[in-house]
Structure 1
Amino acid sequence: MIEPVAVIGAGPFGLSTAAHLRGRGIPVRVFGDPMVSWRDHMPAGMILKSTPAASSIDAPQPGHTLADYCDAAGVRRLVTDEDLISVETFIAYGEWFQQKLLPDLERVRVVSVDRRTGGGFELKLDSGELFAARAVVVATGLSGLAHLPVELAGAAVDGPSATGPVSHSSQHHDLTRFAGKELIVVGAGQSALETAALAAEAGAQVQVVSRGRSRVAFGAPPWSQPRLRPESPFGRAWSLWALSYYPHPYRYFPAQVRHYLVRRVLGPLGAWWLRDRFQDKVRVEEVESVLGADAPDGAPVLTVRTHAGATRQLAADHVIAATGYRVDIAAMDFLGHELRTRLAVSRGAPKLGAGYVSSVPGLYFTGLPAAASYGPVMRFVCGTEFASGRLSKHLAAAHG
């Protein structure tokens, strides 16, 4: 019996990779709850920042794009750059994709992955089952990677919590709980600005605190972008075009350059359509830095340094840290200790070679953990178009 490939994760990258592997005739077992991060860790009412062209999950055969889902579901087609995609629509699309191409997906959790002495891997499921896999693809998305800056930890001694003084934006699905409350949102990216707008629309008094060089700003609408620059899924710019369609050489850049580009390219910027919902409804405090946080009576107080060099204190009923995600192999505790110690890493992220394989033969990473090796496009759904076919081709050649 041929041992299967195990794909851990059922978000866009996991589903796309598994579909491509199956399209090559490779036995696959896929584990996870389809679209769970989008369903449980994104706020209700959220609109995707990406355009329809950048929001299709790549499949090995035609007929599985976002537009195809709209046709099948009998809803309005989403095809132009001005069409907005609700998170509810995108979740339904991902579930439709899974049901069409991976109907035997297993809604169980992988507890551990370890190397076997004779090659391949042994996986343990929370059902108690042990089984062997010839290769493993880690596509766990944002799970366990929420980042809380150390400056905010003083008001979150037990970690960020939706019911405590400080939380992470990924811990909120329903923002109506802040109606009538004073809320501080730390950050300047789309997550921070949209969380703030949704909370304000729910009746909260919201203040956004942006730090350092990150200033609150919004992108240009599609009809205002320069036409003489090449088009990419993220807008018209030579850098965006190159990183979207030609990420092949990215992994050869010096580590410092790669990590800088992942942070800064497509960095903090609100979507063009969010501007009117945000301005005049959310207060903005742009500061040099957050020095610390405390919650003496259960209510958080931030100490900040302004750009003029003064120190101020900002108080609220709750603070949401919309401070993104950090890849850290140490947080992927389902990977056995021996596996994690053998993995070559760069600032917590796995170093990947051709075909998304790690330094441990047979162990692959895709999605956000691959961004440090293949660039910012791996942070977005459209990255499946580049990643899934190449990963499945490499895996088929190495383990066919």
Structure 2
Amino acid sequence: MMHPVAVIGAGPFGLSTAAHLRARGIPVRVFGEPMVSWRDHMPEGMLLKSTPVASNIDAPGRGHTLLDYCEASGTPRLVTDEDIIPVETFIGYGEWFQQRLVPGLERVRVVAVDRGRDGGFELKLDSGELFTAGAVVVATGLSGLAHLPPELAGAAGDGPTPAGPVSHSSQHHDLSRFSGKELLVVGAGQSALETAALAAEAGAQVRVVARGKGAVAFGAPPWQQPRLRPESPFGRAWSLYALSYYPHPYRYLPPQARHFLVRRILGPLGAWWLRDRFEGKVEVSEVERIVRAGTSGGRPVLEVQSVGGRTQELAADHVIAATGYRVDIAAMDFLGHELRTRLAVSRGTPRLGAGYRSSVPGLYFTGLPAAASYGPVMRFVCGTEFASPRLAAHLASAHG
């Protein structure tokens, strides 16, 4: 009897991978709450930065794009680069995709994965069930990977929490709780700028703390994109085109170059449509660095060094660290100790070969943990178009 493949995670990458495996006739069990990170860890009222064409979850057949969902559900059609996607629409799309292509989703959590005696894997679910899988695909998305810079840790106590002085942007769904409060948002990416704008619209007094002169910037609208360069899901540029459609050779670059490009390509930049909601409504402090964070009278205080070299203190009722996510195998504690020690890693990320396979036979990673091996496109939903069919094909060949 063929043991099923276990897919851990039910976000875009997990659902897309599972759909491709099922289309190949491979037994698969998929675990997790569908679109949970998008539903519980993104702010209410958020709009996606990606365009409709860059927001399709890849499927093995036609009829499952974002536009197909809009037409099936009666949602306003989202087609052009000027159409902006509400997060609620994208969550609905993901759930519709799951119901149609991954109907057997199991809404339970995998609490442990260990190597089995027969070369497979032993999994334990929070329901108490134990079972054996022939292969495991880790598609847990952003879960457990929220990054808090060490310089903010001094005000975070045992860690970031919405009830404490410092939190992470992923911990807030409803920003109305900050109405009438003073709020510092640390960061300069879309998450920081949109969180700041939404909080200001909810009645907070907001200041963004961004590192570097000119750190807060917004992308050009679609009608101002250069016309003589190739089109990609992220804009018109040769580099973006290559990273989007030809990520195959990325894993052969030197580690330093790979990690640098993942951080810098498609790095901190606000969406073009956010500028009018941000400028004039949110204050900005450009700093050279945050020296340290502490508390005074229960309020967080940031000691910062300005771009001009002057030191000053910024205080507020709360600090939100919109400081992104960092892949760290050590944080994936559902993977057994033996598995984690056997994995080849590079700066905490799994080193992946062809077909998204790790150094442990039968163990695969997709989505954000694959970005250091396959490039920054793996940070975005459109990365499913490259990853899912290739992972499924490799797994079918290796474990068929």
Q: Shorter-chain-normalised TM-score: which range?
A: over 0.9
**What CA distance in whole angstroms lies between the structure 1 residues aligned with 2:200 and 2:213?**
25
SS at match of 1:131: strand
**What CA distance in whole angstroms lies between the structure 2 residues aligned with 1:76 and 1:157?**
45
SS at match of 2:114: strand
Q: Is the 8 Å Cα contact of residues 214 and 268 (structure 1) preserved in structure 2?
A: no
Q: Is the 8 Å Cα contact of residues 137 and 364 (structure 2) preserved in structure 1?
A: yes
**What CA distance in whole angstroms lies between the structure 2 residues aligned with 1:80 and 1:317?**
41
Report the CA distance between 1:296 and its aligned residue.
2.6
Q: Is the 8 Å Cα contact of residues 227 and 236 (structure 1) preserved in structure 2?
A: yes
Which residue of the partner structure matches residue 21 of structure 2?
21
Superposition map of 1:167-182 within 5 A: 167-182=167-182
Taking structure 1 as reference, are residues 214 and 110 closer, same or farther at Cα in structure 2, changes over 3 Å only? farther
| One-letter amino acid of the structure 2 residue matched with residue 15 of structure 1 | L
**What CA distance in whole angstroms lies between the structure 2 residues aligned with 1:188 and 1:332?**
27
Which residue of the partner structure matches residue 119 of structure 1?
119
Regions of 4+ moved over 2 Å: none
Superposition map of 1:6-17 within 5 A: 6-17=6-17
**What CA distance in whole angstroms lies between the structure 2 residues aligned with 1:151 and 1:213?**
20
| One-letter amino acid of the structure 1 residue matched with residue 363 of structure 2 | L
Which residue of the partner structure matches residue 285 of structure 1?
285
Percent identical pairs in the alignment equals 81
**What CA distance in whole angstroms lies between the structure 2 residues aligned with 1:224 and 1:206?**
30
Which residue of the partner structure matches residue 50 of structure 2?
50
**What CA distance in whole angstroms lies between the structure 1 residues aligned with 2:105 and 2:325?**
27
Report the CA distance between 1:297 and its aligned residue.
1.6
Q: Is the 8 Å Cα contact of residues 67 and 77 (structure 1) preserved in structure 2?
A: yes
1:226 aligns with 2:226: yes
Any idea what the Cα deviations from partners look like across 1:55-87, whole Å, max 9, x if unmatched? 010000110000000010011110100000000
SS at match of 1:359: coil
1:318 aligns with 2:313: no
**What CA distance in whole angstroms lies between the structure 2 residues aligned with 1:213 and 1:363?**
43
Any idea what the Cα deviations from partners look like across 1:167-210, whole Å, max 9, x if unmatched? 00000000000000000000000000000000000000000000
Q: Which runs of 5+ in 2 are unaligned?
A: none
Which residue of the partner structure matches residue 149 of structure 1?
149
Q: Higher mean Cα deviation, 343-352 or 289-298?
A: 289-298
**What CA distance in whole angstroms lies between the structure 2 residues aligned with 1:61 and 1:302?**
52
| One-letter amino acid of the structure 2 residue matched with residue 119 of structure 1 | G
**What CA distance in whole angstroms lies between the structure 2 residues aligned with 1:212 and 1:284?**
11
| One-letter amino acid of the structure 1 residue matched with residue 62 of structure 2 | P
Q: Is the 8 Å Cα contact of residues 213 and 286 (structure 2) preserved in structure 1?
A: no
SS at match of 2:326: coil
1:307 aligns with 2:307: yes
Which residue of the partner structure matches residue 83 of structure 1?
83
Q: Is the 8 Å Cα contact of residues 7 and 14 (structure 2) preserved in structure 1?
A: yes
Which residue of the partner structure matches residue 238 of structure 1?
238
**What CA distance in whole angstroms lies between the structure 1 residues aligned with 2:297 and 2:144?**
29
**What CA distance in whole angstroms lies between the structure 2 residues aligned with 1:298 and 1:147?**
23
Which residue of the partner structure matches residue 199 of structure 2?
199
TM-score of the two chains, using structure 1 as the length reference: 0.99
Q: Is the 8 Å Cα contact of residues 250 and 375 (structure 2) preserved in structure 1?
A: yes
Report the CA distance between 1:213 and its aligned residue.
6.3
Q: Is the 8 Å Cα contact of residues 155 and 166 (structure 1) preserved in structure 2?
A: yes
**What CA distance in whole angstroms lies between the structure 2 residues aligned with 1:169 and 1:366?**
23
Superposition map of 1:21-40 within 5 A: 21-40=21-40
SS at match of 2:183: strand
TM-score of the two chains, using structure 2 as the length reference: 0.99
Q: Is the 8 Å Cα contact of residues 213 and 287 (structure 2) preserved in structure 1?
A: no
**What CA distance in whole angstroms lies between the structure 1 residues aligned with 2:74 and 2:160?**
41
| One-letter amino acid of the structure 2 residue matched with residue 183 of structure 1 | L
Taking structure 1 as reference, are residues 213 and 113 closer, same or farther at Cα in structure 2, changes over 3 Å only? farther
**What CA distance in whole angstroms lies between the structure 2 residues aligned with 1:6 and 1:382?**
23
| One-letter amino acid of the structure 2 residue matched with residue 141 of structure 1 | G
